[in-house]
Structure 1
């Protein structure tokens, strides 16, 4: 709805008019239109978390050497028969996964396999494996003792997320936010659907990389819809809400994986509903900010009138004309190339910040994703542990919103880091039989790093001058992906360290 010039607020008549000022003073910072948009985009944001299903589809499963001398000729026989201690050495964490006692040349059966059949002074590597479960690609593609290969699924997912940043940014700026969202969701659903029919692990990995490279823009595209038409007062709150919806998506993964045993069927159940988001192209309006930036003024006028109508507010003709008037052509300082680099090196304060903020991001993403991935290895149900680890992010996100303006950016960030570090170090020294205490400490560590992740976006952007803010924030976030790329490899590192510690202890000396 339009109102005449004389009805425009007096303080708008002499000041430059931009969309933020119109939202604050006329259209409303968070009205019914914004609420509807937030509800719509929360669904694709939730679905964007589905690309992390590799945590379950490529989950590590207990395995041991297959003992053909005892009649084992497949990978799905009884995992712990009565004679297992005769054939497999025991480690601090259970039966050895990758080594067995050397055979002496005698044959037994599945029911009778005595210790005389094995030389307990000689340990050899496995030729084939027996698995405790079959609900992972580890079983289907026989990845026993190839922990680094298994962890590549998570690493390539993070690599794809890094590659998608420039692709989505270019596509969104050129063709619009709505099309970028629909195409990203379609790619995510399509490659996820195909990956459920992988015939080998290489195909699974390639599709994992393609899915994230071409579909991980779903979150950023949807987030733009949620934030671009919200007034400045509510943007931090909306940021916490959208991040929390991503956490809900991760919780859905845990619940679906819990309910559906087969990893192939689980992937199908998650990705087939994503095709419904394609319908957004016909009933989700294009971003007003994008329309104004591309000078599509006819569509922008219609969109602004729709916002005013749904919010039951008015926009003055003067404000409308100001928004729909092309800005004068003027030279603006470049934010990349030698100009940006020279500006950084000319300021010791800015140079110190450019060297510091990426370290924050690397640390935060490594701990954040590492805690999510490793939650499935905690004692108890891996599904319950994963769901709880994701659920604790939600209070962490909103806690950051509540204390950032009250306590300050630096104290909030420091306390979040310290809390997470203290809990993670404490967890490493807790006895394994204190399962409840270990879980509580683990969740507190995830709560702390969730506070950090929400605070990083706000604090990092405020440390840089306006003209270079977007470029330097993107630089910090991009370098920070190193942490998320390394996080899936931490379980493999743990298994190697544990094996080195155990097998360097002379448990089987010749004198015995």
Structure 2
């Protein structure tokens, strides 16, 4: 999965979102061949290929949805994507209960992935990516399909007659005069700051999210029930995220989510064993904060990164998330040393992430930038504006008093 996250986003930036999504989705069905192998190394090879192809879908899919959704629906599209993931978790839990023989479970889960080949005819490319890359003919076809499906008052002739500059102005997309490569990314202090902060937040969100899924089956009561309850907690968490993201902003919501998860995950660890119901409730409230951050960091990162390298940078951030998901299943081993150690680690990383977010800007009212040059220019303009506000008049104020 780490290998996939490092390169899938970059490939999507180069060849497009649509072909990358289809290749990743259909390629994931290779996992079904695990039921036929009888030795370790072939099984390991299939597991590797399945992860390389399938996990890339997570990065590219959310990028495509955010770009297609438009500026006013960025939070909503991110939440819809997350709901699909949570529904998948719940369905998987019920499938695991029904198909306890692992070969049947793999067959039921992986075989339907081949149906994603139909996306060749159904899925549309990101118009924003097409306009940025200068693929105007493809962009016009996509726009015509969108206008026809949504019954918009835009004629096909109007779209066809529009020149390149008019289309870019219509969708607030700049012309990319030169490709922005690794050197440009590293050379931008603002981009590297955003990437560093969001990468740690990705690590924390994944570490907490998958860690909570692992530890929920260790809570008092039926492990299947606890897992399903933890999965269902995601739904109100997304509703809260949607409301607070739009009303109060992205950054403050993420910071509150991290502090909420840190507080309640550490509190449930010190809850008396006799109050098993309270222990479960505290854990679920902590999971609520985790969900807010898990979804929120994707939307926030997509708004922080420009279209030209959005897939690449999101993929790099997701690489650290995979490290978090790798370490999360190991945390139960720490209980034998110090019972509270997993909760302490979860809370510490959450608090650090909340503090690091002070170094990134609020994106609630900002447009989606298309190039690194735009972001650097915006940063310089913001710094200049702040300096102007800090300056005070040098003329003394005369105060007249009458005795």
Are residues 1:453 and 2:299 paired?
no
Q: Check the 8 A contact 1:357/1:476 in 2, yes or no.
A: yes
Distance in 2 (alpha carbons) for counterparts of 1:396 and 1:381 = 23
Partner of 1:24: none
Q: Check the 8 A contact 2:262/2:286 in 1, yes or no.
A: yes
Shift of 1:244: 1.3
For 1:304-359, what per-residue CA distance to the aligned partner results, in whole angstroms no more than 9, with x for missing partners? 2222222212325555444656989874584632x544442xx7xx7766654433
Higher helix share: 2
Partner of 1:178: 18
Q: Check the 8 A contact 2:30/2:49 in 1, yes or no.
A: no
Are residues 1:263 and 2:102 paired?
yes
Distance in 2 (alpha carbons) for counterparts of 1:218 and 1:466 = 18
Q: Check the 8 A contact 1:223/1:242 in 2, yes or no.
A: yes
TM-score (norm 1): 0.57
Partner of 1:282: 121
Shift of 1:483: 1.7
Shift of 1:482: 2.6
Residue of structure 1 aligned with 2:258, choices 412, 417, 437: 417
For 1:117-174, what per-residue CA distance to the aligned partner results, in whole angstroms no more than 9, with x for missing partners? xxxxxxxxxxxxxxxxxxxxxxxxxxxxxxxxxxxxxxxxxxx1x2112432344345
Moved more, 359-368 or 236-245: 359-368
Distance in 2 (alpha carbons) for counterparts of 1:273 and 1:409 = 36
Shift of 1:246: 0.6
Q: Check the 8 A contact 1:254/1:384 in 2, yes or no.
A: no
Distance in 1 (alpha carbons) for counterparts of 2:249 and 2:122 = 41
Distance in 2 (alpha carbons) for counterparts of 1:355 and 1:179 = 29
Question: Which protein has greater RCO, CA pairs closer than 8 Å, 6+ apart?
Answer: 2
Residue 229 and residue 265 in structure 1: after superposition, are their counterparts in 2 closer, same or farther (change >3 A)? same
Distance in 2 (alpha carbons) for counterparts of 1:225 and 1:342 = 27
Distance in 2 (alpha carbons) for counterparts of 1:166 and 1:180 = 14
Are residues 1:377 and 2:223 paired?
no
> 1:288-437 maps to which residues of 2 (within 5 A)?
288-293=127-132, 295-315=134-154, 317=157, 320-322=160-162, 324=164, 331-332=177-178, 334=180, 336-337=182-183, 339-344=184-189, 355-437=196-278
Secondary structure of the residue aligned to 1:179 is helix
Distance in 2 (alpha carbons) for counterparts of 1:401 and 1:471 = 26
Q: Check the 8 A contact 2:74/2:299 in 1, yes or no.
A: no
> 1:47-446 maps to which residues of 2 (within 5 A)?
160=1, 162-191=2-31, 193-200=32-39, 203-293=42-132, 295-315=134-154, 317=157, 320-322=160-162, 324=164, 331-332=177-178, 334=180, 336-337=182-183, 339-344=184-189, 355-446=196-287
TM-score (norm 2): 0.71
Residue 208 and residue 491 in structure 1: after superposition, are their counterparts in 2 closer, same or farther (change >3 A)? farther
Q: Check the 8 A contact 1:291/1:300 in 2, yes or no.
A: yes
Distance in 1 (alpha carbons) for counterparts of 2:143 and 2:133 = 15
Which runs of 5 or more structure 1 residues have no equivalent in the other structure? 1-159, 499-512
Secondary structure of the residue aligned to 2:69 is coil
Residue of structure 1 aligned with 2:328, choices 487, 496, 500: 487
Distance in 1 (alpha carbons) for counterparts of 2:79 and 2:324 = 22
Secondary structure of the residue aligned to 2:38 is coil
Residue 352 and residue 197 in structure 1: after superposition, are their counterparts in 2 closer, same or farther (change >3 A)? same
Q: Check the 8 A contact 2:205/2:290 in 1, yes or no.
A: yes
Distance in 1 (alpha carbons) for counterparts of 2:81 and 2:277 = 30
Distance in 2 (alpha carbons) for counterparts of 1:454 and 1:243 = 6
Distance in 1 (alpha carbons) for counterparts of 2:139 and 2:311 = 24
Q: Check the 8 A contact 2:132/2:176 in 1, yes or no.
A: no
Residue 165 and residue 360 in structure 1: after superposition, are their counterparts in 2 closer, same or farther (change >3 A)? closer
Shift of 1:208: 2.6
Distance in 2 (alpha carbons) for counterparts of 1:202 and 1:273 = 25
Distance in 2 (alpha carbons) for counterparts of 1:466 and 1:305 = 22
Which runs of 5 or more structure 2 residues have no equivalent in the other structure? 169-173, 340-403
Residue 267 and residue 378 in structure 1: after superposition, are their counterparts in 2 closer, same or farther (change >3 A)? farther
For 1:395-421, what per-residue CA distance to the aligned partner results, in whole angstroms no more than 9, with x for missing partners? 212211211232333432222112111
Distance in 2 (alpha carbons) for counterparts of 1:177 and 1:278 = 15
